[in-house]
Structure 1
Amino acid sequence: MASALKRGCRFIVITFFLLLALAAGAAFWLWQGHRGFADMPIGGVAADATVEVVSGDAFPTVLRKLRKTGVSHGTDLQWRLLARQTGTASQLKVGEYAMDPALTPRELLQRMREGRTLQYRFTIVEGWNIRQLRAALRNATPLQQKTTDLSDAELMAALGHAGQHPEGRFLPETYVYTRSETDLDVLKRAHAAMEKAVDAAWQARAQDIPLQSAEEALILASIIEKETGIAEERPAIAGVFARRLKIGMPLQTDPTVIYGIGSSYDGNIRRRDLTTDTPYNTYTRRGLTPTPIAMPGVDALKAAVNPADGTALYFVAVGDGSGRHIFSTTLAEHNAAVARYLVTRRETLRKAEAP
């Protein structure tokens, strides 16, 4: 009887350990399979595919979106377990995510937990005016459009700056945005960046400049920006304008005339344009224009408040296509430089047209 009982106990113990070993083996097999799923590329999607997580999306909804992009890797249970294990299920960040087929499920979910969304770029070019900026914004994709039907005045009100002229108010640089953002979001950042840049330039201004405010510095910087694309020339051009302002001499700068002509400008400045008075004609009016005429960059802002020393009161393009200028102190020197410009310009055009 005792012997039979012992044999029964041994059988139970052996069976228990066999079942335990089987369970451990099954658990190891499942763990290995789960790890293999989590760390193998998802595949099955196009290289440019994306998935968007919107506000209110729970992980099952996101998983359905993943399947629609072509993700067939892993079971729904494996995805849910991994999302819970990585904390993604409770920490999904709204945004658009790139679906690179080389990504593993673990890497993809980590991106969604950390909010590493797909980003786009929009560049404001130095020297653009507000019309050019708004036209470029309308063509920016996938930026959501909120300002298309707004007038310039309505646009500035929407940005929180009612009554402010929009020209020159947005700093030229590259701005990053996501699919969920709008053109207003980009413009708010660009406006804040310009205010910061203008303030920094004004705080670092030379003490003897003929400017009374940061606003005047912005206006002058916009004129400098339109006069040259050569960075090292900007302080010299600023010096010419500063000396003219000090002695009450008209700035006589063509970009202001062009701005005054507006959208009807056809690429040519005629003598009548120089003599027709507008608020922006610096041939007929002394001093600065009433507003900026373009979006100046940081270098133009710095030049406006720290003009180069010298005696030059005039400058004219070299005429060889380099964009560089010749600076002169007297009108006689300037007239001679203009004559050389005309000769060089004709020769440059002749060479360009030669077969």
Structure 2
Amino acid sequence: MSAVSGPEDYEGQGTGEVIVMIHDGDIGSDIATTLHAQGVTKSFDAFYDLLLKKASTHVFQPGAYKLASGMSAQAALDALIDPANKLEQTVVIPEGTVAADVYQLISEGTSIPLDEVQAAAADVASFGLPSEATTLEGFLFPATYTFSPGIGAHDALATMVNRQFQALDSAGVAQADRWKTIVLASLIQKEAGLRDDYYKVSRVFLNRLEPALWESGLLQSDATVAYGTGNTHRVSTTDAEREDASNAYNTYVHPGLPIGPISNPGDLAIDAALHPADGPWLFFVTWNLDTGETIFSSTVEEHDAAVAKWLAWMDEHPEYQ
């Protein structure tokens, strides 16, 4: 049916407002993925196939664009190439974005060169962070920002840092507890999927920090290992990476929380760090990568069964391998 009628597509201009970021170097498939993931278009193919049918090649400028939910592929394309929909001095930071990518997003959404943003970020002591911080990681609050024309790199970063301080204050976090809260929240942000699971993931990690429940004290988070290798866009790791003691973020080797944040968490992850669910869980595995459904277990046997369920699902979905 798809071959005859074409890919699934919405009709019309859509409703509401969705801010979409196009990044430097994005090609048609990247943009099609972004539009579908944010609910702008009904399918990846709807937008991508439309691009392939166009005789001319569109050059999309990096930055933030105002679109809508449920747009037809043609409406979305028209909106992206209409300069009136490009939001000047606007930066969208999704939850879980790492600092290096935040710097890139600031540069793409403003007129500030990337090297200036990176240089400003290197002056960590000027932002009022906890004494343990050696970078801005974890303290760049994920949100949509619209900056005044001519803003400098330091002021743009300070806006994000101060917004994270505001989030912590609103959550009731004392200044003395900012560091450990952000470290745990950054881990939850990377590992959790569905909203309710944030609180269960928080409990799993806190249970693993309790010697009576988990003697080794090893969190065994692939997300921390991947962060330490520099592969910040994935959470899967290899056996060699999990055995590498030289990786200071390797929680398969080093007990306790990682030495620093591994992402920039939002309000939900912060709340989960402060208010974990009650439960005996020591393990979790996301067995359905389409829906994000996750199984939480308190015994090795239960966890092994959950892993088997995930592996069976993966066998049925080779596109994820």
TM-score (norm 1): 0.58
Q: 1:119–1:178: 8 Å Cα contact kept in structure 2? A: no
Which residue in the other structure is 1:289 paired with?
A: 258
2 CA distance for matches of 1:343 and 1:279? 33
Counterpart of 1:191 in structure 2 is 161
Q: In structure 1, how many angstroms separate the alpha carbons of the residues matched to 2:113 and 2:225? A: 35
Residue in 2 that maps onto 1:244: 208
**TM-superposed deviation, 1:178:** 2.0
Please give the secondary structure, in 1, of the residue aligned with 2:110: coil
The question of 1:322 aligning with 2:286 is answered no
- The alpha-carbon deviation at position 149 of structure 1 amounts to 5.6
Q: Pick from 171, 178, 181 the counterpart of residue 214 of structure 1.
A: 178
Percentage of identical aligned residues? 31
Question: In the superposition, relative to structure 1, how do residues 160 and 200 fare at CA in structure 2: closer, same or farther (>3 Å)?
Answer: closer
329 and 193 in structure 1: CA distance in 2 versus 1, 3 angstrom threshold: same
Deviations 1:124-182 (A, max 9, x none): 1111111111111221234576724617433x245465973211111111112122222
Q: Distance in 2 between matches of 1:185 and 1:173?
A: 16
State the SS of the aligned residue for 2:90: strand
Give the alignment's Cα RMSD to 1 decimal.
2.8
Amino acid at match of 1:281: N
Q: Verify: 1:230 aligned to 2:199, yes or no.
A: no
Instruction: Return the structure number with greater helix share.
Output: 1
Residue number among 308, 311, 316 corresponding to 1:339 in the alignment? 308
> What is the rounded CA distance, in whole Å, between the counterparts of 2:306 and 2:146 in structure 1?
45
Deviation digits for residues 91-126 of structure 1, max 9, x if unmatched? xxxxxxxxxxxxxxxxxxxxxxxxxxx964211111
Amino acid aligned to 2:301: A
Q: How many residues align?
A: 227
Q: Give the C-alpha shift of residue 324 in structure 1.
A: 2.4
Q: Structure 1: how far apart are the matches of 2:288 and 2:166?
A: 36
Letter in 2 for 1:344: W
Task: Say if 1:223 and 1:293, in contact at 8 Å, map to a contact too.
Answer: yes
Residue in 2 aligned with 1:68?
none
CA distance in 1, matches of 2:179, 2:234: 30
Query: By how many angstroms is 1:183 displaced?
Result: 3.0
Residues 1:275 and 2:243 aligned together: yes
| TM-score between both structures, scaled by the size of structure 2 | 0.64
Tell me which structure has the larger Cα radius of gyration: 1
Q: Which residue of 1 aligns with 2:101?
A: 132
Q: How does 1:1-355 map to 2 (within 5 A)?
A: 120-143=89-112, 147-148=116-117, 150=119, 152-154=121-123, 156-157=124-125, 159=127, 164-165=133-134, 166-203=136-173, 213-247=177-211, 248=215, 249-262=217-230, 269-277=237-245, 278-349=247-318
The amino acid across from 1:234 in the alignment is Y
Relative to structure 1, the CA distance from residue 332 to residue 290 in structure 2 (aligned partners, 3 Å threshold; closer, same or farther) is: same
Structure 1's unaligned 5+ residue stretches are: 1-117, 205-211
For residues 160 and 236 of structure 1, the distance between their equivalents in structure 2, rounded to whole angstroms, comes to: 31
Report deviation, 1:267: 7.7
Residues 1:265 and 1:348: Cα distance change in structure 2 (over 3 Å): closer
SS in 2 for 1:179: coil
AA matched with 1:181: I
CA separation in 1, counterparts of 2:276 and 2:199?
Answer: 5
Shift of 1:238: 0.5
What secondary structure, in the 3-state scheme, does the structure 2 residue paired with 1:139 have? helix
SS in 2 for 1:327: strand
Q: String of CA shifts for 1:48-81, please: whole Å, max 9, x gaps.
A: xxxxxxxxxxxxxxxxxxxxxxxxxxxxxxxxxx
Q: 1:348 & 1:126 partners in 2: Cα distance?
A: 27
Q: Once the 2 structures are TM-superposed, how far is the Cα of residue 215 of structure 1 from its aligned partner?
A: 1.1
Instruction: Tell me how far 1:214 sits from its aligned partner.
Output: 2.7
Q: Which runs of 5+ in 2 are unaligned?
A: 1-86
2:209 partner SS: helix
CA contact under 8 A between 1:218 and 1:296: conserved in structure 2? yes
Q: Secondary structure at the match of 1:216?
A: helix
Aligned-partner Cα distance in 2 for 1:265–1:227: 12
CA contact (8 A) 1:120 1:178 kept: yes
CA contact (8 A) 2:223 2:235 kept: no
Give the distance between the partners of 1:162 and 1:320, measured in 2 at CA: 36
